[in-house]
Structure 1
Amino acid sequence: MHSRFFPILLLLFSAAIFDVGFAGAGDVSGENPFTPRGYLTRYWKKEISTDVPMPGFLLEKASPLTAVEFAGFSKLADQRKLSSQLPDFCGKANLLCFSDLSPSLEKHDTNANFAVYLNKNFTNYGDNRLGGLDSFKNYSDGDNLPVDSFRRYSRGSTGHGDKFASYATEANVVDQSFNTYGTSATGGTGDFSNYNKQVNVPNLRFTSYSDDSNGRKQSFTAYTDEANSGDQKFTSYGKNGNGAANEFASYGKDSNVLGSAFTNYGETANAANDTFTSYGTNTNVPENTFKNYGTQGNAATESFKSYRDQSNVGDDNFQSYSKNSNAAKVDFENYGKSFNEGTDKFSGYGNGAVGQEIDFKIYGVNNTFKDYAKKGVTFTGLPNGSSAMGASLVATGKRVISKWVVEPGKFFREKMLESGNIMPMPDIRDKMPKRSFLPRVIVSKLPFSTSKVGELRRIFHADDENSTMSKMLTDSLSECERAPSPGETKRCVTSIEDMIDFATSMLGRNVVVRTTENTEGSNRDIMIGKVKGINSGKVTKSVSCHQSLFPYSLYYCHSVPKVRVYEADILDPKSKATINHGVAICHIDTSSWSPGHGAFISLGSGPGKIEVCHWIFENDMTWAVAD
């Protein structure tokens, strides 16, 4: 046997012996000391000066790898070969990884009816089909981490109908792409009835949608309604189309922190008829971007009947709108009427157009219109004394009550933490996928910076830079590299040992970590039972740690000065039975917070004027000096 293999075999053999025969040796917890959890238990005892053992909720986040698995994957990390064993590594280490696409379901000649569909890859689906109808029902509904790809879907078809009845409803961390959907199709229909409703962290991509089509009608009845935190992108929508009719009946309604991008929408199309009936209504912090909308279109009709109505802050950006078009009619009946103003920018629309007619009837506050055509554009209902010829149009209007104004119980005043008080509790359930930390020995060998994101993408099989995994890696790394806010000390921790180090560096070794016991009481009224102020209720400093979306557990931890931390029994208001034990943190100094912070929207005040309290949600935690 070659000598260089001996150390590896010895390590694996030793680990196996400890796995089988010596579990619990030297560790009162009963954990094998050569596992990641065994090492972490010893690290806690060494670094934390209190006699309190590591709480179960924190130990549960540690890596579940056995000693043998730990040794094997550590060696693969040394050799930069983890990618070759990614499915096995992800499964055993409890990581968030997407499955590689399955073999493609290719062309077919007869009508297809997929009643239950999950994680499939269609490379050439419905190409050059003549007539017929293909139906998808219950498509990836309720699935965790669905990865679906349609490439060259209905391309060159004639009179062919596509129907998606329930597409990825209530799915979690969705990654779905349609490349060349309906390209060069003639006639026929495409119908998405319930597209990604109530999904969490979607990443949806339509790369080429209905380009070069002729007389094809496509409809999205309910598109990403009630979605939470993600992005959707249409890169080339209806380009060179002829007589196409596209309808979005309900687009992104009631969604939270959702980004939408339409690039090259309706470019050089002829007689297009596009309707957005309800676009982004009642959304929270939306980010919408339309670039090159209707450029060089001929005789197009574009209608936004209710655009971003009753939305909370966010940003919209329309660039190059209806440029060099011919006899286009664009109608915004209700544009951006929000209860809490966002930022809306129109740059370069209608320039070079001939015979166009653009009408804005109702629009919200803080709208900026630049470089637009001075003829054929109508602004209806301008406030008295306003002029449509200026660079900026500011309209005032009655603020509308929205569910985003009052998110019951998410923020509250300190006086509410009194025994006997009844108050609403928000949904404190963790909606992120379940993951574990990696052992520090392994994670220290993985790149962790935006400059090396390419290597991370290779490890986690994120070949497509637009995929959910790629975006997840880039977004989290960028947030970790962001400069701290004034007075903030922050660190992204990639292991529990790192978290312990950061907390003790800020607070000392005499610390206790707490979280809310469970999720009981979410989304309903609760009664406050016995309340205890940590450190006798004195103003103190704490370290709060919040989850980030990453393949393994990653926490954003930051030092929070001038807070009071409380523990409170949570009771059922009717039976008075204890259903939960909550941890709440009250921020005494809010002077550096943004005036548009949700706390001030719901509590009706401003920076530095009031204290703001909130519960510690599931899987988040706060560290404080022990009593």
Structure 2
Amino acid sequence: MAPVVLLVLIAVVAGRTAVRGHPGDGTPAARFWEAALPGSPMPESIADLVQKGTDHSPLAEHRSAAMFLPNACLGYKYDIQCGKPPPASTQAAPAVEGIFFREAAMRVGSTMTVALPAAVPAAFLPRDVAGRIPFGNLTDALATFSIAPGSQEADQLSNTVRECAAPPLAGERKACATSLEGVVLSATRMLGTRRVAAAASALPSTGLPRAVYVVQATSPLGGSRFVACHSRPYPYAVYQCHMTERSSKAYVVSIRGGLRGDPTMDMAALCHFDTSNWNPAHPAFKILRTHPGGSPVCHFLPYADLLFGEKKANA
């Protein structure tokens, strides 16, 4: 990207005035969300990323490779790379033993062991700014953000570009989006309706320590088709959204720690009832002692991932 263009983009972001209060309030992304998803408040984690993209543009404040953390291997395909032991100089790969569970574990009053890794997803660029940065050209991305070719960060960017370009699995629809508006539009197009509700896990970005949590309430998200959107490693927010026609259910599960004063957290959860086309090496099969096509696999969504579903008829 030419230096002049980059300076223009930085100036566009730096010139925006942040509206204080709820993170992201007053931004074009927040107004779009309210218009597109009435009655479905923007999750705090997403609003925070919107505000960060306004106050501290990734174009002006590059972040180091240590900030790019892999996801928790939640795709159907299971990227084998996320199961490789990391080099000694990098952070440990996220533990997935506390992410996957069986549907019966969501019964009210049940206890479940939960652990979710810390996450520092990239900030959302304003839609008009993101639209001026060509996505998919790795050489341009490395030059724009001064990332050394062959570095760990460059490898992660390469994986994101490759995953976004890869064709969907049989029976799957997928898309990558580089703005929050693009994420919402991708989800509504896949679902084929504008009556859409959104959910995200309300946990801190520092993750959840491995502990026993008590299920306080379980509520179905509604509908029979769902779109999950996962944050991918990139200097600015890139989300990979996918939907499968195979049977699944989505829930919002309220869990609370066992100590007095522990807060109750609403967690977005997705259960897959047909895993016949999943990679046999997927960690969920080992953790839940099942196999492709076996018993259903459920999982919580990590910090700042999004889940979309059709609204209930009376909503």
Same fold (TM over 0.5): yes
The share of aligned pairs that are identical, in percent, is 24
Q: Distance in 1 between matches of 2:280 and 2:308?
A: 27
Q: Distance in 1 between matches of 2:84 and 2:60?
A: 22
Q: Which residue of 1 aligns with 2:56?
A: 92
Q: Distance in 1 between matches of 2:24 and 2:64?
A: 31
User: For residues 175-186 of structure 1, what are the structure 2 equivalents within 5 Å?
Assistant: none
**Matching of residue 445 in structure 1 with residue 132 in structure 2:** yes
SS of the counterpart of 2:150? coil
**Matching of residue 488 in structure 1 with residue 172 in structure 2:** yes
Distance 1:503 1:57, change over 3 A: same
- Cα distance, 1:434 vs. partner? 4.5
User: For residues 56-75 of structure 1, what are the structure 2 equivalents within 5 Å?
Assistant: 56-62=44-50, 64=52
**Matching of residue 409 in structure 1 with residue 98 in structure 2:** yes
- Cα distance, 1:610 vs. partner? 0.9
Distance 1:580 1:467, change over 3 A: same
Q: Distance in 1 between matches of 2:217 and 2:104?
A: 14
Distance 1:497 1:574, change over 3 A: closer
Q: Which residue of 2 aligns with 1:40?
A: 29
Distance 1:597 1:30, change over 3 A: closer
TM-score, length basis structure 1: 0.41
Distance 1:594 1:552, change over 3 A: same
Q: After superposition, what is the alpha-carbon deviation per residue over 1:260-304, rounded to whole angstroms, capped at 9, x for unaligned?
A: 7xxxxxxxxxxxxxxxxxx9xxx98xxxxxxxxxxxxxxxxxxxx
User: For residues 104-503 of structure 1, what are the structure 2 equivalents within 5 Å?
Assistant: 145=64, 172=66, 257-258=84-85, 408-430=97-119, 433-449=120-136, 452-462=137-147, 464-503=148-187
- 2:249–2:270 Cα contact (<8 Å) kept: yes
- Cα distance, 1:30 vs. partner? 11
Q: Which residue of 2 aligns with 1:598?
A: 283
- 2:195–2:311 Cα contact (<8 Å) kept: yes
Equivalent in 304, 309, 315 of residue 624 of structure 1: 309
- 2:276–2:292 Cα contact (<8 Å) kept: yes
Q: After superposition, what is the alpha-carbon deviation per residue over 1:354-412, rounded to whole angstroms, capped at 9, x for unaligned?
A: xxxxxxxxxxxxxxxxxxxxxxxxxxxxxxxxxxxxxxxxxxxxxxxxxx8xx543221
**Matching of residue 581 in structure 1 with residue 270 in structure 2:** no
- 1:96–1:434 Cα contact (<8 Å) kept: no
Q: Which residue of 2 aligns with 1:543?
A: 227
Larger Rg: 1
- Cα distance, 1:473 vs. partner? 2.7
- Cα distance, 1:256 vs. partner? 5.1
Q: Distance in 1 between matches of 2:237 and 2:296?
A: 31
- Cα distance, 1:29 vs. partner? 8.0
Distance 1:19 1:593, change over 3 A: closer
Q: After superposition, what is the alpha-carbon deviation per residue over 1:42-75, rounded to whole angstroms, capped at 9, x for unaligned?
A: 3224333x33343433222225466xxxxxxxxx
SS of the counterpart of 1:531? strand
Distance 1:595 1:497, change over 3 A: same
- Cα distance, 1:438 vs. partner? 1.1
Distance 1:420 1:95, change over 3 A: farther
Output the amino acid matched with 1:421: S
- 1:569–1:578 Cα contact (<8 Å) kept: no
Q: Distance in 2 between matches of 1:533 and 1:96?
A: 41
Distance 1:626 1:547, change over 3 A: same
Output the amino acid matched with 1:588: F
- 1:544–1:560 Cα contact (<8 Å) kept: no
Distance 1:517 1:425, change over 3 A: same
Of the two structures, which has the highest relative contact order with CA contacts closer than 8 Å and spacing of 6 or more? 2
Q: Which residue of 2 aligns with 1:509?
A: 194
Higher strand share: 1
Q: Distance in 1 between matches of 2:106 and 2:250?
A: 11
Tell me the number of residue pairs that the alignment of Structure 1 and Structure 2 aligns: 286
Distance 1:577 1:485, change over 3 A: same
Output the amino acid matched with 1:518: L
TM-score, length basis structure 2: 0.77
- 2:124–2:180 Cα contact (<8 Å) kept: yes
Distance 1:511 1:145, change over 3 A: same
Q: Which residue of 2 aligns with 1:608?
A: 293
SS of the counterpart of 1:446? coil
- Cα distance, 1:97 vs. partner? 6.0
Q: Distance in 2 between matches of 1:259 and 1:495?
A: 30
Output the amino acid matched with 2:146: H
- Cα distance, 1:19 vs. partner? 4.8
Output the amino acid matched with 2:116: D
- Cα distance, 1:523 vs. partner? 0.6
Q: Distance in 1 between matches of 2:129 and 2:244?
A: 30
